[in-house]
A and B are shown apart, each in its own frame.
Chain A
Amino acid sequence: MIKLTNLEKVYRTSSIQTLALHNVNLEVEKGEFLSIMGPSGCGKSTLLNIMGLLDNPTSGQILLDGHAVANLPDRELARIRNRKLGFIFQSYHLIPDLNVLDNVELPLIYRKVSGAERKKLALAALEKVGLSARTKHYPNQLSGGQRQRVAIARAIVGQPEVILADEPTGNLDSVMGEEIMNILLQLNQQDGTTIVMVTHDESQAKKTGRLIRFFDGQQVNTETYAAQLS
């Protein structure tokens, strides 16, 4: 599904050069639930951003479904992000001026789906995350857990093959975190969605199929588990 080969990422300023990723080789299989763990600043989010085509590697190759995506034009990258990938962020990244329904419909707007169809699909996605009663609310009227459910609904509304989740439970208490984790596990196990999740929570990471540990921009360990709903 996703294959990273000899991936390097260097951040350069006029006075300093920081190696964020070094020689990363990683393959994510279709339908897999992969978690990535490591201390802050070890390059986890950078890796996720590169996988999600939100950032460019300094060197190395990214294959998506066997196709190299490194030098694709902006329009094509946008199309892949829109159709194949869904994102969930630690700080939710909802647009505060849009209500829940409009936030969830956002990816479909760039797919040029009709208004009625957008609404139908967005309501279905919100139903899936148990938030269909809050469609007219604005993000600032929701709790952290509810905001993250909206973010998940937005990520799955276009039925992407891959969901990239960057510390999706990082801002939530343990109960809310469990709920969000269960939704992700269901998406993986029932819908077959491939999920790559960056987390600091060891217990949640161990619920996924494979855990890769990072340190100083490099993979240091891989562990496999049987994915489980709590």
Chain B
Amino acid sequence: MWHRRGKNFLLLVEIFFSFVVLFAASTFIIEGLRNYLTPTGFDYKDVFVLSIETNGEGGASIIEKIKQIKREAQLFPEVASLSLSSNNTPYSFNGHNGTIRTEGDEKPAFSHYFFVEPSYLKTMDLELQKGRFLKKGDMGKVLPAVINDKLQSQLFPDEDPLGKRLNYAGQLFEVVGVVKHFRQAGEFMTPVGGLFHLADLSGETNNIPSRLLIKIKPGAGMAWQPQLMDKVAGIAGNWTFEINSLAETRADRSKFTIIPVIALSTVCGFLIFNVVLGLFGVLWHNINKRYSEIGIRRAVGATKGAVRFQMVGEVMVLATFGIILGFLLAVQFPILGVFNVDGYIYLAAMLSSLILIYMLVAFCAWYPSRQASKIEPAEALHYE
């Protein structure tokens, strides 16, 4: 093999690039699958979002109107629970995020922020892991806050987060509880930090909620929706209201995520197909050029199986070298921590790419080797 290194170099490069392409695709797919299989931390079923746009109206009067809207909604017998919220409701494309730091050692982490009411816990069916959720009166200079377990693992991996203080752009928070999993964008979102604090219904800050999350009782029907819209229009006629179910928003968000995934998977599929065609072509050509050698080996005692083993074995050794080069490149990703993907995802992607490459290479080498081994030795010896 060493003496054919010039001829084998092209094949080695092709295997290396195939590994890299497969590694990239595998990372993307495995991460997507991991995200999809991880709980979102909330239940979207039977939850509706009433969007409230004040159309430029400001001041303390809007707080009163928002409270009145909530009271009116609460009167519907179909409603099981409701909570005012910031506009980054589940599956919405709105976002409030930035880097939060621990007080003292200033350890940073990226996080989303949500200002909600205590009833958010019940409305969205969050799972409390530790401490308590927000309660009425959780205001003050240091805001009580509930974080998700991802933020906890980033900021307090080995200690109890309860009572710890966090700083975001000068605002101090004190952790009072931890919820499990919560990912606002849903199934396809990579787990990131999340922090909940109480919505301000005093009008003293800008944290005025503009969404009302309404959980209805199972089988409640839709009749309440037009009635509610009439009521809220009566409270604030110049405002704009829109009501959507989280199930619909989820479907829209899924389309937004799935379509690029399908497009990328198609591109990756074509790439892999091209790699297979290329490998097959190169191996077919290389093996065909060795018919004379195959004839010699058969003449001196090689069985058909030994010839196949020799041809496939050589390609597998080459594949190993290509994979080692690919590994050297791939391992830089978890080491350097690029793209914010967990190390074990990269490792799983490397392993699956390795298995796939060996399978592809074995398949591409096996058929031409089989064809070559079937030729009568006398015929193979005539090839020069």
* Chain A contacts to B: CB under 8 angstroms: 46, 49, 52, 54-56, 74-75, 78-79, 81-83, 87, 89, 91, 93-95, 97-98, 106-107, 110-111, 138, 154
With a cutoff of 8 Å between Cβ atoms, the chain B residues found around residue A49 in the complex are: 377-378
Q: How many angstroms from the CA of A93 to the CA of B297 in the assembled complex?
A: 10
Residues in chain A near residue B304, CB distance under 8 A? 74
A9 to B49, CA, bound (A): 87
Cβ A81 vs Cβ B376 within 8 A: no
Asked whether A54 lies within 8 Å of B377 as measured between CB atoms, the reply is yes
- The reply to whether A93 and B296 form a contact with Cβ atoms under 8 Å apart is yes
Inter-chain contacts of A89 with B (CB < 8 A): 381
**Are the C-beta atoms of B384 and A91 separated by less than 8 Å?**
yes
Q: Which residues of A contact B264 (CB under 8 A)?
A: none
| B3 cross-chain contacts in A, Cβ below 8 A | 97-98, 138
Nearest chain A CB to B11 CB, angstrom units: 15
Chain A CB within 8 A of B300 CB:
yes
B4 contacts across to A, CB distance below 8 A? 97
Q: Is the CB of A78 within 8 A of B302?
A: yes
Asked whether B295 is an interface residue with its Cβ less than 8 Å from the other chain, the reply is yes
CB–CB A95/B293 < 8 A = yes
Q: Which residues of chain A have C-beta atoms less than 8 A from B296's C-beta? A: 93-95, 106
Contacts of A56 in B (CB 8 A): 376
Task: Name the distance in Å between A35's Cβ and chain B's nearest Cβ.
Answer: 20
Given contact pairs A78-B302, A81-B300, a sample of 17 additional A-B residue pairs in the complex whose CB atoms are under 8 Å apart: A49-B377, A49-B378, A52-B299, A54-B378, A55-B377, A75-B305, A78-B303, A82-B300, A89-B381, A91-B384, A93-B295, A93-B381, A106-B296, A110-B297, A110-B301, A110-B302, A111-B301
B89 to chain A: closest CB distance in Å? 68
Query: A82 with B377: in contact, given A91-B384, A95-B293, A98-B3 (CB under 8 Å)?
Result: no
Please give me the residue from chain B that is nearest to A45 by CB atom: B378
Chain A residues within 8 Å of B355, by CB: none
Docked Cα-Cα span, A73 to B62, in Å, equals 93
- A82 to chain B: closest residue by CB: B301
In the complex, per-residue mask of B281-302: 1 if CB is within 8 Å of any chain A CB, else 0: 0000000000011011111111
Give 24 A-B contacts (CB < 8 Å), ordered by A residue.
A46-B378, A49-B377, A54-B295, A54-B299, A54-B377, A54-B378, A54-B381, A55-B379, A56-B376, A75-B305, A78-B298, A78-B302, A78-B303, A81-B298, A81-B301, A87-B299, A93-B299, A93-B381, A94-B296, A106-B296, A107-B300, A107-B301, A110-B297, A110-B303
With a CB–CB cut-off of 8 A, which chain B residues contact A98?
Answer: 3
The chain B residue with its CB closest to the CB of A99 is B3
* Bound-state Cα–Cα, A94 to B301, Å: 15
- Any chain A CB within 8 A of the CB of B306? yes
Most central of B295, B300, B379 by chain A CB within 10 Å: B300
> Which chain B residues numbered 305 to 360 have a C-beta less than 8 Å away from chain A?
305-306
A74 touching B381 by the CB < 8 A rule? no
Nearest residue, chain A, Cβ from B1: A97
Q: A54-B376, A56-B376 are in contact. Are A79 and B293 (CB under 8 A)?
A: no
Query: A79's closest neighbor in chain B, by CB?
Result: B301
Nearest chain B residue, comparing its CB with the CB of A106? B300
Residues B298 and A54 in contact, CB atoms below 8 Å apart: yes
CB <8 Å contact, A55 and B300: no
- Nearest chain A CB to B7 CB, angstrom units: 9
Interface centre among A87, A94, A97, A98 (most CB of B within 10 A): A97
Return the chain A residue nearest B3 by Cβ: A97
Nearest-CB distance from A165 to chain B (Å)?
13
Closest Cβ of chain B: how far from A155's Cβ, in Å? Answer: 9
User: A75: which B residues are within 8 A, CB to CB?
Assistant: 303, 305
Q: How far is the CA of A154 from the CA of B379 in the complex (A)?
A: 20
List 4 A-B pairs, minimum CB-CB distance, nearest first.
A82-B301, A110-B301, A55-B378, A97-B3
Bound-complex Cα distance A46 to B293 (A): 19
Chain A residues with CB under 8 Å of B303's CB are: 74-75, 78, 110
Q: Which residue of B lies closest to A94 (CB)?
A: B296
Q: How far is the CB of A7 from chain B (nearest CB, A)?
A: 15
Chain A residues near B297 (CB, 8 Å)? Answer: 106, 110
Is the Cβ of B300 less than 8 Å from the Cβ of A110? yes
Task: Report whether A93 and B292 are in contact in the complex, using a CB–CB cutoff of 8 Å.
Answer: yes
- B307, closest chain A residue (CB): A78
Measured CA separation A83–B300 after assembly (Å): 9
How far, in angstroms, from A16 to B293 measured CA to CA in the complex?
29
* CA–CA, A79 and B306, complex, Å: 12
Output the nearest chain A residue to B300 by Cβ-Cβ distance: A107
By beta carbon, the residue of chain B nearest A80 is B301
Nearest CB in chain A to that of B292: its residue: A93
Query: Which of A55, A87, A93, A138 counts the most B-chain CB atoms under 10 A from its CB?
Result: A93
**Contacting pair A87 B301 (CB below 8 A):** no
Instruction: Indicate with 1 or 0, residue by residue over B367-384, a CB within 8 angstroms of chain A CB atoms.
Output: 000000000111101001
A94 to B299, CA, bound (A): 12
Residues of chain B within 8 A (CB-CB) of A78 are: 298, 301-303, 306
Residues on B with C-beta less than 8 A from A55 are 376-379
Cα distance, A64 to B376, chains bound together (Å): 20
Smallest distance from the beta carbon of B170 to chain A beta carbons, Å? 72
- Chain A residues positioned under 8 Å from B301 (CB to CB): 78-79, 81-83, 107, 110-111
What A residues does B299 contact at CB under 8 A?
52, 54, 81, 87, 93
Residues from chain A with a CB closer than 8 A to the CB of B377 are 49, 54-55
Minimum Cβ distance to chain B for residue A67 (Å): 18
How many angstroms between the C-alpha atoms of A56 and B306 in the bound complex? 20
